[in-house]
Amino acid sequence: MISYLREHNELIYILFFAAAITFSVLINGLFLRFFRTLGIRNNSDGTIIRWGSYSKPSVGGITFYIVFLLSVASYTVMFSPPESMYHYGFVGLLLSAAAGFLVGLADDAYDTRPFLKFGIQLLCGIILVATGIVINISPWWPLNYFLTLFWVVGIMNSVNMLDNMDGITATVSAGIIINALVKIYLYEDFNNVHFIALMGVLASLFAFLWFNWHPSKMYMGDTGSQFLGVFLATMGIIYFWNDPYHTIVNPPPTGKLVSSAVMTFILPIVDTTVVVYNRVTSGKSPFVGGRDHTTHSLAYLGLSDRQVALAFIALVFCSICQNIMIESFLYNWKHVYTIGFAIYFFGILSFFFYTTRNKLSKKKEEDKAAAAIGSETVKH
């Protein structure tokens, strides 16, 4: 049976994807039944502010990591393991994913200090650098190392911050994974352990959306967002910052690599940029929660929770189409292409920046009016 399946790779992937979805749905159902308090924390410090109720278990992310490990283990059974499985880079992916998962699990269970979380995020980046997974866009290696650490820590925090409304983080993460799978498909690199790992995590995200679509029954918690953050950051380095399908003699232009990476991760990048800028300029800590995310800005425009999620799905679809265009049609890269994608990025950034700032301005005016009314009431 195994030998027959090895001769039909497409059948293996279909069966694996279906099995991964089924397993994820079942395990999430069990977690929902038996772990009703994991991730439900006292929010007296105000660091966690969700759009909806927070009194739901944050157990969905555990499934992501379990399915990821099962995907890697299944690959050794269904295929002849390639040398890449014994490469330092793959070991680095396993170790950094484990560190991200454990710090997220600890945070959901014990509410760890932000400094400890940042330290583990930095450790994830150091592990990747030490095992050869480095953004390689500059001849100056210290700059490449710094960019890699900044990218890993930034994406881990971005995915965590984006987890503020039902269905959003799972949808955006699924879109990033689909972008990577499309690239692997276009170059027919199917005998690849990353391919089945990406499919496994994607299946777990689809299954999680069954429980996380509005109105949600569970959240992924930091367990899910921290694991997804380091996993997606690593895949971003391998498949978008460093194009593995071009030779060293004929490397792709830097503008193409940057455009591909930014278009793939545009939603978490824009959300974090808008939130950090607005909070810092308002004299607030960027690590204190608030309802000033890009998702919230769409809700302020009158969209329902489900419509916000659908709007993000539309943006994810645009990202996938743009990456297909980059890989399939824009062979001879020109500066005008880089400028075009930059205009699109700053257009999305400006839209969300304007909507959030407009809401913050109105809120300040309302607070001033309320304060004025209160002072008049005291006088009389």
The pLDDT tens digits of the residues spanning 271-303 come to 999 999 888 887 777 777 677 788 888 888 888
Q: Are 133 and 148 in contact (CB under 8 A)?
A: yes
Please give the C-alpha separations between residue 47 and each of 119, 224, 227, 286, in angstroms, as whole numbers: 18, 18, 20, 10
Q: What is the CA radius of gyration of the chain?
A: 22
- Sequence ranges of the domains in the chain: 2-379
Mind listing the pLDDT tens digit of every residue in the chain (380 residues)?
455 445 556 778 888 899 999 999 998 888 877 766 555 554 444 445 555 555 577 788 999 999 999 999 888 777 766 555 557 888 999 999 999 999 999 888 887 788 899 999 999 999 999 999 999 998 899 999 999 999 999 999 999 999 888 999 999 999 999 999 999 999 888 888 899 999 999 999 999 999 999 888 888 989 999 999 999 999 999 999 998 887 665 788 999 999 999 999 999 999 999 999 888 887 777 777 677 788 888 888 888 889 999 999 999 999 999 999 999 888 789 999 999 999 999 999 999 988 887 766 655 555 454 444 544 444 44
Half-sphere exposure of 82 (CA within 13 A, CB side): 10
Q: What is the pLDDT of residues 75-132, one digit of tens each?
A: 877 776 655 555 788 899 999 999 999 999 988 888 778 889 999 999 999 999 999 9
Which tokens is 336 given?
A: 């005008």
Whether the link from the prior residue into 215 is cis, omega within 30° of 0, is yes
Look up the pTM and report it: 0.88
Neighbour count for residue 213 (Cβ, 10 Å) = 16
Where does residue 177 rank: exposed (0-12), middle (13-18), buried (19+ CB within 10 A)?
A: buried
Of 352, 364, 172, 363, nearest to 277 by C-alpha is 352
How are the residues of the chain apportioned to helix, strand and coil, as percentages rounded to the nearest 5? 75, 0, 25
Cα gap 276→279, rounded to integer Å = 5
